[in-house]
Structure 1
Amino acid sequence: MCGIAGAISFSAGQGSEDAVRKMNARQKLRGPDDEGLNLFGHAALGQRRLSIIDLSSDGHQPMSLGGLHITFNGEIYNFEEIKKELVLRGHAFKTKTDTEVILAAYKEWGKESFSRLRGMFALALYDSEKEELILARDRYGIKPLYYAKIGEGLVFASTVAAIKESGLVEPNEDEEAKIGFLLFGSVPLPKTTFKEIRAVRAGHYLSFSKNGTEEVKYYDSLAPFLNKISPTKKEAVSRLRELLEESVRLHLISDAPLGVFLSGGIDSSVLAILAAGQRKEPLDTLSIDFKEQKFSEKRYREGVVAQIKSRHKEYLVGKEDFGAEKENILAAMDQPTIDGVNTYFVSRAAKEAGLKVVLSGLGSDEIFMGYHYFGRAALFRFLQKLPLAFKWPLKIFSRRNGWAKLIYLYRGRGLMNFYLSLRGLFSPAEIAEILKINESSVWDYVAKLEDSLPAKLASLHPADALSWLEVNFYMANQLLKDTDFMSMRHSIEARVPFLDHVLVEYLSSLPVSLKLSSRPKELLISAMEEELPREVWDRPKMGFTFPMAEWLGVGRWAKAWAQIISATFYKKNEKP
């Protein structure tokens, strides 16, 4: 885990080296162990390093191989496997790093090499001979990467704040981003709060040279949903167990202290049990507990801790802790979000426990259909497709307190309206009132989001369509962004074994009948039933829920917190 930055310019006088130095300084917490900055012709590449694999100076970046130069953030879990293949093809290696393997793989296979990488990554690779800069991002957007065009050049970094700090961009607020934040509780990528700064899309690479800019999709997350397989439940459970064990094994690769965040829910318990089974030494686990006891999952995780005999640490958090850390939490937000408070505190706990790497259960609910509203998906889609003359009750109910999102089902038949009826934060009327704009502007933006969706998405079962939307919107735009910048605030690398693409693809290819049942996460529980304590899964779902309503002193905390964040964040962005 690191912070990367760089700039390229084909015109004189744009100060790339000084700009990258400023961006490195802004991203110091992302990589406190080492700093690098090198000039390569038209390009300047920089990095702040958090040493995880090969802790020696051999891992210093930027790293070069002939005329290829790289700055890289992330972890490639199959780098040893790729390395063996490259050695057979005549490549020699000087270090034990995955970074050097990426360089050699690119030299061997070019841009096709990105599809061979199994892990999380955001990288910039400069080819001195071709005078071409490549920015590439992993399949699901686990690692962030932003860029802005500057005259005849381009600037990039791991954070929006770093690009702003570079001095190469004069940012202007994107009004549609404000709408997006109030629609979802986060800004939908590739937008950011600034018009000039955009994100490299998940599963894409961007090429920049004198010939222009091209963004290319190298991975299609929809494809597995469209290519269904039909195993028996027994076969699916068996294969799922294999993939879970493999993913956890790969995610345990680390030369730095590693642990598992254990909340007491199904997902973190599964990871802790599997991780403990693959380690010779006792596993480190850590938990956040609350002074507000109704939110505590302590009694559920105690059984797991006793079973795996982990070295467990608990950290107590209450309203006064939130009050004391509130400004730091807001300052850590690279982009506005209503989530991330949980990750902030658990990452702080990991830092205090002496860990550098923590495994998280993020992503499980999206791929195993764990959220309660997956069960409503088919009904909501049916209601949405009714002729308008039969949908008038939806309009009437949308005027009642707590039912405002039903207006999405009434107003449109598209999948974005369907998704917002289940996942949306504010209704268009509420957003218009908050931002003092016409409601039509909100609906226009919703229509743009609809147009951005792949056409074949509509052919899926509503629950599968919802799963894809969750992965590509809520998870990509909110959960992963929050996890990254909140963990990096404490110089902690968060890993997400449930987002191993081999595992995600297998689940995506399964029929909905195997994934959606009366028992949430039926397949996951079945795959782990012998080891997973019954009290962990045979209870109402809590999720890793913080007592935000109590801390903020309001009932509908998400909307109240959103307005606090919106006001604070945009004030922070005001020009002096």
Structure 2
Amino acid sequence: MCGIAGFIDFSKKSGKDILQHMTDVMQHRGPNDAGYEVHEHPTATVGLGQRRLSILDLSSGGHQPMHFGQYTIIFNGEIYNFKEIKKDLEKLGYTFQSGSDTEVLLKGYDAWKEQVLDRCIGMFAFVIYDARQDQVVLCRDRAGVKPLYYYWDGQTLLFGSELKALCEHPQFRKEIDVNSLSLFLQYSYIPAPYTIYRQTRKLKPGHLLTVHLNRQELQELAYWNVLDAYHQPLTNLSQHEVIQHTEMLMKSAYNYRMVADVPVGVFLSGGYDSASVAAILQAGSGSRIKTFTIGYKEKQWDESAEAKKIARHLGTDHTEWIVGPSDALEVLQQLPEIYDEPFADNSTVPTTLVSKLASRQVKVALSADGGDELFAGYNKFNQSLRYTRFSKRLQGLLSHTMAMLNPELIPYFNKQYNFASRYEKMKLIWASGQPQYALKYISQYLTESEVNHYLQVTPDKYRTNFDLNGELNEVNDPLNKLLAIDYKTFLVDNNLVKVDRATMSVSIEGREPMLDHRLVEFLAQVPASLKVKDNVNKYILKTIVHKYIPPSLMDRPKRPFIAPLQEWFRDELREQMQYYLAPGRLNKTGLFNAPHVQQLMNRYLLDGKVSHQKLWNILVFQLWYNRWMEKL
């Protein structure tokens, strides 16, 4: 696991000193080694930098940038099946000087070019400079576990594992994209390919970006798309065969993620996803695997007791940490540095804390993101289907009727929690009449019309993967269509960002065993009737987990892995919120309608009938703005 950064400067003004600054600002991603190289091409200066966190081949043999023939590579991630690929390359006559997966990837690229990706099981972002073909290729893994950002102004291309690397280059212009800010306020994250900065993009998962040096052109190409898996015919395997094959793939995927030359552990929340990882790995291990849990002093949010029971049943070496508001306050100040783009998922706090806990004992930690998308775990999927089950005519009538009423004037209901927002969402859901748009509106904390009240400027509308339309017409059933959308939105740009930055902030590698593309592709072809059966979500996963852990330890209401911000905001974090959301500080940005934000905060503190997430999103932006736009 590493951090990579670099530039392609057609003005040839960038040098090694700039490259070193871009790379070293991500020292937390790679404290063990560093490499910097500047290559002079006839048309451009190409800078390649890497910070290394040694996980495989701890020797100097894994140093980067790495060279072979006409190629130079910088690589972030892991190719878990690199030993198998290495054997295939040896049969072709290739020899190896190290035990690193980087060398295997580099020589695999020499042998098969981009087709080497078809052979790779792993998570990765890499850049290859091909001196003979006069091009530079940027690549991101299928799921998007590893990040890669780039900035292009027509003259200079900058790239890096985190935005802070781009900010170190003097050509980078830190101009806020108001359209992206609108998306952030809606979802609490910014969906790909957009970022908070103008002219700056996230390289989309499963994509290659080729920079043609002689033509000074960029070409983006998809080599893998989860929709292709969902477009395949549904499997005709029986329920027993589906469960059997799923478990086999899970075992293979989970065991691959244990490949390392350093200690490995598992984040255990107490839910089915992480329990499946701990259970399967412990069952196949001759020693006690390490598991880590965060708990809260506020009992209604605390799952540590359940996680401890599961760990005791499995026989893992378990460590827990019960945290409180003071721990959260410390993390709160670090969030803008860790997440150098506005990012307001309120489980950033526990994820950062559990990463800190694990870093005391291990260098690799397995998370379990993707379980809800693959196995249909979120209630929002059920809601999206349930709310749009009526005829289009009836839904249109309901939406039309709601548009005639002001929710603030409806007695009794106007006093209920977050009623105006929920009313607006239902109006939009019935106006659309489609489950996929129901999912979009359910996923929003602020609707687009609400955002316009909070901003002084009116943003344009960016199209995101929530707006897929023709691309989904052939998806095999309504539920799987929702899973595909959530995979391409919330999973990639929320959950994976959260874990990558939290783990890397304390220099440990986060791995995502559930996002093995073989498991993803197979489950995409499993019908909804097996994913949700007898009104039981995650039926397949639960059946598998119950082979290892009794249902009595697992069956309880689903509880999200989040921080109790609702309580903390009214107590220990109240002062922070009031400071950063004060009119003077809001007006500094020139973006927010300060009186409207103040009204929202005052109402929240008065009766709590407002969603705290709306305030959390604005607070997080203010913290980010203070760090990245004011402190220049």
d(CA) in 1 for partners of 2:87 and 2:336? 45
Q: Counterpart of 2:629 in 1: which secondary structure?
A: coil
- Where in structure 1 do 4 or more consecutive aligned residues deviate above 6 Å? none
Of the three residues 364, 371, 383, the one matched with 2:371 is: 364
CA contact (8 A) 2:440 2:466 kept: no
Greater Rg by CA: 2
User: How far apart are residue 450 of structure 1 and its match?
Assistant: 6.8
User: How far apart are residue 286 of structure 1 and its match?
Assistant: 1.1
Matching residue of 2:449: 429
- Describe how 1:71-470 pairs up with structure 2 within 5 A: 71-209=74-212, 210-211=214-215, 212-227=217-232, 228-339=234-345, 340-351=348-359, 353-383=360-390, 385-386=392-393, 388-395=396-403, 399=407, 400-403=419-422, 404-412=424-432, 417-438=437-458, 441=459, 445=461, 448-449=463-464, 453=468, 455-460=470-475, 461-470=477-486
Task: Call closer, same or farther: CA 1:176–1:150 in 2, change over 3 Å.
Answer: closer
CA contact (8 A) 2:153 2:199 kept: no
Deviations 1:29-54 (A, max 9, x none): 11111111122333221101111111
CA contact (8 A) 1:169 1:196 kept: no
d(CA) in 1 for partners of 2:402 and 2:249? 43
Q: Counterpart of 2:461 in 1: which secondary structure?
A: helix
Matching residue of 1:537: 554
User: How far apart are residue 154 of structure 1 and its match?
Assistant: 1.6
Q: Counterpart of 1:155 in 2: which secondary structure?
A: strand
The TM-score normalised by the length of structure 1 is: 0.94
d(CA) in 2 for partners of 1:137 and 1:78? 17
Matching residue of 2:580: none
Q: Which residue identity does 1:502 align to in structure 2?
A: R
Between 125-134 and 301-310, the greater mean CA deviation after superposition: 301-310
Between 145-154 and 497-506, the greater mean CA deviation after superposition: 145-154
Q: Counterpart of 1:541 in 2: which secondary structure?
A: coil
d(CA) in 1 for partners of 2:402 and 2:220? 41
User: How far apart are residue 406 of structure 1 and its match?
Assistant: 1.8
User: How far apart are residue 102 of structure 1 and its match?
Assistant: 0.5
Structure 2: 5+ residue stretches without partners:
408-418, 571-603
Deviations 1:86-109 (A, max 9, x none): 111111111111100110110011
Q: Which residue identity does 2:481 align to in structure 1?
A: A
Q: Which residue identity does 1:4 align to in structure 2?
A: I
Task: Call closer, same or farther: CA 1:69–1:539 in 2, change over 3 Å.
Answer: same
d(CA) in 2 for partners of 1:230 and 1:342? 41
Of the three residues 63, 68, 72, the one matched with 1:60 is: 63
CA contact (8 A) 2:179 2:461 kept: yes
Q: Which residue identity does 1:355 align to in structure 2?
A: V
User: How far apart are residue 246 of structure 1 and its match?
Assistant: 0.5
- Residue 7 of structure 2 corresponds to residue 4 of structure 1: no
User: How far apart are residue 20 of structure 1 and its match?
Assistant: 1.3
Matching residue of 2:623: 568
d(CA) in 1 for partners of 2:614 and 2:169? 33
Task: Call closer, same or farther: CA 1:381–1:113 in 2, change over 3 Å.
Answer: farther
The TM-score normalised by the length of structure 2 is: 0.86
d(CA) in 2 for partners of 1:112 and 1:385? 45
Q: Please provide the CA RMSD for this pair.
A: 2.0
Q: Counterpart of 2:48 in 1: which secondary structure?
A: strand
User: How far apart are residue 413 of structure 1 and its match?
Assistant: 5.3
Task: Call closer, same or farther: CA 1:258–1:398 in 2, change over 3 Å.
Answer: farther
User: How far apart are residue 151 of structure 1 and its match?
Assistant: 4.4
User: How far apart are residue 390 of structure 1 and its match?
Assistant: 4.6
- Residue 39 of structure 2 corresponds to residue 36 of structure 1: no
Q: Counterpart of 2:384 in 1: which secondary structure?
A: helix
Q: Counterpart of 2:350 in 1: which secondary structure?
A: helix
CA contact (8 A) 1:398 1:407 kept: no
Structure 1: 5+ residue stretches without partners:
none
Q: Counterpart of 1:401 in 2: which secondary structure?
A: helix
Q: Which residue identity does 1:557 align to in structure 2?
A: H
Task: Call closer, same or farther: CA 1:19–1:260 in 2, change over 3 Å.
Answer: same
d(CA) in 1 for partners of 2:428 and 2:282? 46
Of all paired residues, the percent bearing the same amino acid is 32
Q: Counterpart of 1:425 in 2: which secondary structure?
A: coil
CA contact (8 A) 1:192 1:198 kept: yes
User: How far apart are residue 334 of structure 1 and its match?
Assistant: 1.8
Task: Call closer, same or farther: CA 1:411–1:452 in 2, change over 3 Å.
Answer: closer
Q: Counterpart of 1:289 in 2: which secondary structure?
A: strand
Q: Which residue identity does 2:235 align to in structure 1?
A: I
User: How far apart are residue 60 of structure 1 and its match?
Assistant: 0.8
- Residue 550 of structure 2 corresponds to residue 551 of structure 1: no
Matching residue of 1:19: 18
- Residue 481 of structure 2 corresponds to residue 482 of structure 1: no
Task: Call closer, same or farther: CA 1:416–1:22 in 2, change over 3 Å.
Answer: farther
d(CA) in 2 for partners of 1:414 and 1:449? 16
Task: Call closer, same or farther: CA 1:572–1:510 in 2, change over 3 Å.
Answer: same
Task: Call closer, same or farther: CA 1:493–1:394 in 2, change over 3 Å.
Answer: farther
CA contact (8 A) 2:304 2:320 kept: no
User: How far apart are residue 158 of structure 1 and its match?
Assistant: 0.5
Between 160-169 and 297-306, the greater mean CA deviation after superposition: 297-306
Q: Counterpart of 1:391 in 2: which secondary structure?
A: helix
Task: Call closer, same or farther: CA 1:155–1:557 in 2, change over 3 Å.
Answer: same
Task: Call closer, same or farther: CA 1:94–1:72 in 2, change over 3 Å.
Answer: same
CA contact (8 A) 2:384 2:435 kept: no
Task: Call closer, same or farther: CA 1:359–1:107 in 2, change over 3 Å.
Answer: same
- Residue 73 of structure 2 corresponds to residue 70 of structure 1: yes
d(CA) in 1 for partners of 2:242 and 2:405? 41
Q: Which residue identity does 2:6 align to in structure 1?
A: G
Q: Which residue identity does 2:228 align to in structure 1?
A: A
User: How far apart are residue 567 of structure 1 and its match?
Assistant: 2.1
CA contact (8 A) 2:128 2:137 kept: yes
- Residue 533 of structure 2 corresponds to residue 528 of structure 1: no
User: How far apart are residue 326 of structure 1 and its match?
Assistant: 1.4
Between 224-233 and 132-141, the greater mean CA deviation after superposition: 224-233
Q: Which residue identity does 1:401 align to in structure 2?
A: A
Task: Call closer, same or farther: CA 1:343–1:566 in 2, change over 3 Å.
Answer: same
CA contact (8 A) 2:29 2:507 kept: yes
Q: Counterpart of 2:150 in 1: which secondary structure?
A: strand
Q: Which residue identity does 1:208 align to in structure 2?
A: V
- Residue 526 of structure 2 corresponds to residue 510 of structure 1: yes
Aligned positions, number? 569
CA contact (8 A) 1:414 1:450 kept: no
Task: Call closer, same or farther: CA 1:153–1:185 in 2, change over 3 Å.
Answer: same
d(CA) in 2 for partners of 1:347 and 1:273? 20
Q: Which residue identity does 1:293 align to in structure 2?
A: K
Between 325-334 and 104-113, the greater mean CA deviation after superposition: 325-334
User: How far apart are residue 128 of structure 1 and its match?
Assistant: 1.3
Deviations 1:484-508 (A, max 9, x none): 1121111111111110110011111
Q: Counterpart of 1:222 in 2: which secondary structure?
A: helix
CA contact (8 A) 2:375 2:541 kept: yes
Q: Which residue identity does 2:294 align to in structure 1?
A: I
Q: Counterpart of 1:365 in 2: which secondary structure?
A: helix
Task: Call closer, same or farther: CA 1:535–1:396 in 2, change over 3 Å.
Answer: farther
Between 526-535 and 471-480, the greater mean CA deviation after superposition: 526-535
